[in-house]
């Protein structure tokens, strides 16, 4: 019976780890394509290859695809049969993402209404969002003892700080390269390297 329980637990962890790895890959590709398109957009980035309409459309489309994929992953994760305290923790953590993202948008909107320039806005918008994503990954990794989530949170926070110091429009290039590289590195380490998720199913549930 103990062997059966252990086998079931390991199977669940492997399944959720693969799901989380695929999610990281999707977001890495979305950020690489989306921010690269802004980097080569006229009047936005450093080159005049794409028109503003095309550049922003590509950026928005990649984010929409990644968000839709994340929603599908979340729905599937919710059907894994986990109940009780773990389910409540996962739900509260999921809601914290929505609250933080909406609050960030309202905060920047308030700053713009009070005189925030367009030049600073294009730095603050991606910087604040990436920073918040890093903090949320950091807190999630600490909550569920999931080292990959924690490591990715640190990498994204560092990326946001460095990109903001670099300034526009080069910050788009930083987001298009450094952040996706961090996601792909963590994904690879989760699958084949030393950064393994916690042995508890809760940690795998959090990663999913």
pLDDT in tens, the chain (208 residues): 666 665 665 555 566 677 788 888 999 999 999 999 999 999 888 999 999 999 999 999 998 898 888 777 666 655 554 454 556 666 677 778 888 888 998 999 999 999 999 889 999 999 999 999 999 889 888 877 788 889 999 999 999 999 999 999 999 999 999 999 999 998 888 777 655 544 444 444 444 4
3-state secondary structure string across 4-33:
HHHHHHHHHHHHHHHHHHHHHHHHHHHHHH
C-alpha atoms less than 13 angstroms from C-alpha of 180 in its C-beta half-sphere: 18
Residue in this structure with the two tokens 């609050």, named with its chain if needed: 103
* 169-185 pLDDT, tens digit each: 999 999 999 999 999 99
> Residue 77 is encoded by which pair of tokens?
């994760």
Give the angle subtended at the CA of 202 by the CAs of 89 and 74, to the nearest 5°: 65
3-state secondary structure string across 19-72:
HHHHHHHHHHHHHHHHHHHHHCECCCCCCCCECHHHHHHHHHHHHHHHHHHHHH
Q: How far apart are the C-alpha atoms of 12 and 205, rounded to whole Å?
A: 9
Cis? peptide before 105, omega within 30° of 0: no
pTM value? Answer: 0.81
Burial of 3 (0-12, 13-18, 19+ CB in 10 A): exposed
Give the pLDDT confidence score for residue 179 in this predicted structure: 92
Distances (CA, A) of 28 to 14, 116, 181: 21, 30, 7
Give the pLDDT confidence score for residue 16 in this predicted structure: 66
What H or E segment, with its residue span, contains residue 186?
helix 170-192
Give the pLDDT confidence score for residue 113 in this predicted structure: 93
């Amino acid at each position: 019976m103990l062997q059966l329980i252990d086998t079931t637990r390991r199977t669940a962890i492997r399944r959720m780890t693969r799901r989380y790895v695929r999610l990281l890959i999707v977001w890495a590709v979305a950020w690489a394509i989306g921010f690269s398109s802004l980097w080569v957009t006229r009047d936005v980035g450093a080159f005049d290859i794409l028109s503003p309409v095309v550049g922003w459309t590509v950026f928005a489309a990649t984010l929409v695809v990644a968000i839709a994929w994340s929603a599908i992953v979340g729905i599937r994760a919710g059907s894994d049969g986990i109940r009780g305290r773990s389910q409540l923790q996962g739900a509260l953590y999921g809601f914290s993402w929505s609250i933080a993202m909406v609050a960030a948008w309202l905060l920047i909107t308030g700053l713009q209404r009070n005189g925030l320039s367009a030049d600073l806005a294009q730095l603050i918008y991606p910087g604040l969002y990436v920073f918040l994503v890093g903090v949320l990954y950091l807190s999630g990794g600490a909550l569920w003892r999931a080292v990959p989530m924690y490591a990715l949170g640190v990498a994204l926070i560092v990326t946001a700080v460095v990109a903001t110091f670099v300034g526009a429009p080069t910050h788009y290039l930083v987001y298009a390269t450094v952040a996706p590289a961090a996601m792909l590195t963590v994904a690879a380490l989760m699958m084949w390297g030393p950064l393994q998720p916690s042995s508890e199913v809760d940690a795998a549930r959090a990663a999913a």
